[in-house]
Structure 1
C-alpha cells in the first residue's frame, strides 16, 4: 500500500524553523544534525531541510511504499523523470522523481 507519510520543507535556517513549528503548533522536532529536523509521530511527519545542496525548491511530498525498487520501475514506466536515484538515510531509503506535471516527489521505504 502506498500512502503520503512525510512532507519535507526547504528552510534557510533549520534552528529558526524548528523553533517556529514547536512554538506555533506544539510539535516536537528531533534534530538530525545542524541542517535537518523532523517530527517523528509515525503519522504524516514534517521534515525541515536546511542544507541548500539537498533541499528541493518547493515542499517535497514523500510517499511510503512497500517495494521501493518496484515503485521506481512503475514511476519510470508511467512517465516520471528520476531526479535522485535510490539512496539510504537514517531509518530507510528513498528516491526522488518529477511527475509529468513537473512536481517533485519522493518514494520511501522505512526500516
Structure 2
C-alpha cells in the first residue's frame, strides 16, 4: 500500500443479501461479512465494501485512500482547504476519517496503524 493512493471504494446498500447475490452472480465478486451492517468485496480489481444504510443515495461511492499516518493526512487535507465530515474513528481493520473536497465530494482516508 502506498500513501495517498486510492485503496478502497465503498458503496451504500439497503439490502446487503441482495447486493451480495447481485454482484456475485453478475461479476463473480467474493464477499466477507463483518456483522450484519457491512460486507467487503474482493476479486473486483479494487477491494471495497457495502455498508447498510436506509438513507437516500446521495453519491454512489465513497473513494477511500490509504495513508500510514492519519494525523499527517488529516493535517494535509485541512491545510489544503478540505473540511472534515467525520473525524478519525475506529473500524474493524483500522481507523479512518472522512472529508469534503472544495466541491463537496466526500472521500475517506484510512490506516491500519
TM-score, normalised to structure 2, is 0.87
Displacement of 1:11 in angstroms is 1.1
Counterparts in 2 of 1:32-71, with a 5 A limit? Answer: 32-40=34-42, 44-52=46-54, 57-58=58-59, 59-71=61-73
Secondary structure of the 2:49 match is strand
Whole-angstrom CA distance in 1 between matches of 2:74 and 2:37: 27
Q: Per-residue displacement from partner, 1:49-83 (whole Å, max 9, x unpaired)?
A: 11347x97321000011211100011001111100
TM-score, normalised to structure 1, is 0.88
Whole-angstrom CA distance in 1 between matches of 2:64 and 2:23: 19
Whole-angstrom CA distance in 1 between matches of 2:57 and 2:14: 12
Contact 2:29/2:42 (<8 A) preserved? no
Displacement of 1:3 in angstroms is 0.9
Runs of at least 4 residues off by over 4 Å: none
